[in-house]
Structure 1
Amino acid sequence: MTVEAKLTEARREFHSTLLGGILTRSASGAPSNADKSSRPSVAIANAILDQLGPAQTAPKLPGQTAGADFETVCATFVRMCFEKLRHLRPGNFSVSKGGWIAQFDQYAHLDDLEAIAKANREIATALGSDYLIKPDIVVARQPETDDVINTPALLVDETTARLTSLRSENQALATLHASISCKWTLRSDRAQNARSEGLNLVRNRKGRLPHVVVITGEPTPTRIASLALGTGDIDCVYHIALYELRNALEDQGREETLELLDTMVEGKRLRDISDLPLDLVI
């Protein structure tokens, strides 16, 4: 009997959960992640859906409901996989939905900035609100006690390493390890806020830059490219079913969009959801 790899199993369970209510097919035959007004979008989404398994026939969920449910499913997937990879990335990590970035060590100074802005309208106008970032999913690492750090030998004491954020003796805040944005589809300008959030995570940090990634279920490569192409703001875009998407494009003879998809993959701008847990332990 062949043993199934844990990440393969997790990927299958991830898809099964999506098929349980988020990824459905309407009575007219349009998948819930497709743009029903776009024939290519519906065709590609249907081909992906056929590979993932039988879909429920159900009305499409309201946008906010689908988005919130998608975040929950993604958070569960990341949490479950990260737990299995502790041997590759030791430490006290947690995966949770949302939360303002000022709760983390690299961005704690933003609390002071907000207090100043609230007290002075002119400063508030000058600063704007771009720094008020609340990621959909966060991966955090708690600081370690000296007992843990000194497990193999006496590595630190009261005379050295007195500023590092990893020591709980120095500070109590968690470090933001990853910021994950979840975009069920990419059919509005709002999807581009992942770029601005990423840029602000880069600009406003004091310390280590967290992973900045996006997960999407968008079936159309041209719309994925609008977010994936370019560098500097996000690490990478992760698709819920990249292998199935590529098969769909191949089977339908969509050579131009297949070339665009391969360009994103070969350029390290697009990966499958199963790549994300391993990338996060880097």
Structure 2
Amino acid sequence: MPASFAADLCGYRGGNPNTSDSSKPESVALGRLLFSNMGVPDDAPAVKIDHIWSHSMVEDLNDRLAATAPHLVVDRERAAHDFEQYAHMKALQQLAEDNSVEVTMALETLRQHLTLGGVDTRTLELTEVLGNAIELTESRRRPLLELLGDESLPKLDISVHRPWVSAAEKPHLIAGLSLKWSLRTDRLQDPRTHGAKMAALRRGRMPHFAAVTMEPRPYFLARLGQGTGDLDCIYHLHLPALVATVDEFYTGSKSRTRLRDVFHRMVDQRRLRDYDDLVDYLSTL
């Protein structure tokens, strides 16, 4: 079952489907056929995808999970360090914050106060010792922080978490989703890099991490989802229409039928799944 909001996001920009690469006639033709199978009107205008899609998806998932998994919370644009498994990344960032300016100003204020108060020489000497100790500590701390590096994660387009009973504890991230309306060579690496970093930097259980897309071309779907291990799978917003589109479009030559076979292999291996599969899986977590 497709996402209920999928067709509302589809439209034409300059006469071309907003899933298509307008410089590639085959991509445009495939997009038109997909929209036709989805029932998208030929005069449907293109919308601003990113903003509307993420809000529509959060609303839809929260509504559908309310009955089967009311303990789950779905959000958009959340930082990974907001969650239990990645909270240490925020701690390192806070440790790296440079407060040397504030410390220097406070020490200078202390010196001036002591001087005006007419204190003895020994007190001034101890103040200098304190200042030197602070400078030495900072000179040692900075190289150590640089050796630790500055690993970071981009915000999660969609996050699904389980809140803890105690407000003092970070919520537990159970799923993160990377939204890619369409795919190009330069867009393929983002979800992979994000997934690999989430696996490497976590402390505790790895959240379910997947890409969600409306891309119709088997070639790009395979490049993103076949065998990298950085993603659990790809979810398509309207897989039934895409299956019908691929079966109709990729015929007549060996190269085309090969792409059709690759596509069906991805579906059979569950590397490419329907949006409904996402809802069902989340309800089990």
| Aligned counterpart, 1:187 | 184
Q: Does 1:17 align with 2:8?
A: yes
1:132 correspondence with 2:129: no
What secondary structure is seen at the aligned counterpart in 2 of 1:92?
A: coil
Give the TM-score, by structure 1 length: 0.76
Q: How many residues align?
A: 237
Aligned: 1:54 with 2:40: yes
Deviation at 1:110, TM superposition (A): 0.9
Aligned to 2:26: 40
Match of 1:229 in 2: 226
SS in 2 for 1:136: strand
Report the alpha carbon displacement of residue 222 of structure 1 after superposing the two structures with TM: 0.6
- Give the direction of change, closer, same or farther, for the CA distance of 1:270–1:103 in structure 2 (3 Å limit): same
String of CA shifts for 1:50-76, please: whole Å, max 9, x gaps.
111133636645xxx422322222222
Task: Note if 1:280 corresponds to 2:269.
Answer: no
**Rg comparison, structure with higher value:** 2
Alpha-carbon offset, residue 16 of structure 1: 4.0
DSSP-derived class of the 1:182 partner: strand
**C-alpha offsets along residues 186-208 of structure 1, whole Å, 9 cap, x if unaligned?**
11423421111111111111112
Within-5 A mapping of 1:252-267: 252=249, 253=251, 254-267=256-269
Q: Is the 8 A contact 2:3 2:275 kept in 1?
A: no
Between the aligned partners of 2:283 and 2:244, the Cα distance in structure 1 is 29
> Which runs of 4 or more aligned residues in structure 1 lie more than 6 Å from their structure 2 counterparts after TM superposition?
none
C-alpha distance in 2, partners of 1:127/1:46? 50
Aligned twin of 1:149:
none
Check whether the contact 1:186–1:218 (CA below 8 A) recurs between aligned residues: yes
Partner Cα distance (2:271, 2:40) in 1: 30
Contact 1:48–1:241 (CA under 8 A) maintained in structure 2: no
CA contact (8 A) 2:89 2:151 kept: no
Work out which structure has the larger RCO, using CA pairs closer than 8 Å and 6 or more positions apart in sequence: 2
CA distance in 2 between partners of 1:260 and 1:272 (Å): 17
| 1:140-175 Cα shifts (integer Å, max 9, x gaps) | 10114xxxxxxxxxxxxxxxxxxxxxxx39x52210
Whole-Å Cα distance in 2 between the matches of residues 193 and 182 of structure 1?
10
Deviations 1:212-234 (A, max 9, x none): 01100111111111111114211
Name the stretch that deviates more: 77-86 or 266-275.
77-86
Deviates more, 1:231-240 or 1:186-195: 186-195
Alignment of 1:171-250 (within 5 A): 171-250=168-247
Structure 2 gaps of 5+ residues are 99-140
Distance in 1 separating the partners of 2:231 and 2:14: 37
Counterpart of 1:99 in structure 2 is 78
1:116 and 2:107 are equivalent in the alignment:
no
Alpha-carbon separation, structure 1, partners of 2:186 and 2:14:
28
Decide which of 62, 65, 75 is 2:58's aligned counterpart: 75
8 Å Cα contact 2:11-2:40 kept in structure 1: no
Separation (CA, whole Å) in 2 of partners of 1:186 and 1:27: 19
1:101–1:16 Cα change, 3 Å: same
Report the CA distance between 1:244 and its aligned residue: 1.2
**Whole-angstrom distance in 1 between the partners of 2:145 and 2:272:** 37
Give per-residue Cα distances to partners, 1:230-273, cap 9 Å, x unaligned.
Answer: 14211110111222112112112242221110121122211111
What's the TM-score, normalizing by structure 2? Answer: 0.75
Deviation at residue 77 of structure 1 after TM alignment: 2.5
Distance 1:264 1:105, change over 3 A: same
Amino acid at match of 1:67: D
Task: Report which of the two has the higher share of helix.
Answer: 2
